[in-house]
Amino acid sequence: DEEQGLTTQVLDASSLSFNTRLKWFAICFVCGIFFSILGTGLLWLPGGIKLFAVFYTLGNLAALASTCFLMGPVKQLKKMFETTRLLATIIMLLCFIFTLCAALWWHKKGLAVLFCILQFLSMTWYSLSYIPYARDAVIKCCSSLLS
């Protein structure tokens, strides 16, 4: 599986044509970005923390789901729970849940914002796991900045 090229993996992912999968990937990804930006804008409204948490989380879920059109949902889930990204996946999913809980049920604005920040960081770390040596480069860069 690792030796196949990206194009071969994408073409084997589902029965949808390559153009259809690419279009739906782009649609989901753009919707994800739009919802995240919309949620951030809604944060400044009175009582907007609930809308912020919902739209920001929905945006991240849409961006994450967009890759299902490229890889296929089963392959996506298998890759999400591989040992190299298991911890990032669990933290990311927990942050999705805790963000919504903090805003909708616990009514803790600061906690909801904190979980959104953690969502962003965990999504970034998760995404970097798909780029060879990207995590190592980030760790090296951060350690050099701190020393």
pLDDT tens sequence across 106-133: 989 899 999 999 999 999 998 888 888 8
Q: How confident is the model at residue 11 (pLDDT cuts 50, 70, 90)?
A: low
| Percent of the chain residues past pLDDT 90, beyond the cut | 52
**Is the distance from CB of 31 to CB of 94 less than 8 angstroms?**
no
Q: Tell me the C-alpha distance between 29 and 65, whole Å.
A: 8
pTM of the model: 0.78
- Predicted local distance difference test score (pLDDT) of residue 9: 58
- Compute the distance between CA of residue 100 and CA of residue 14 in angstroms, rounded to an integer: 32
pLDDT by residue (tens digit) across 84-109?
A: 889 999 999 999 999 999 999 998 98
| Residue environment code for 1-22, b if the CB has 16+ CB neighbours within 10 A, otherwise e | eeeeeeeeebeebbeeeeeebe
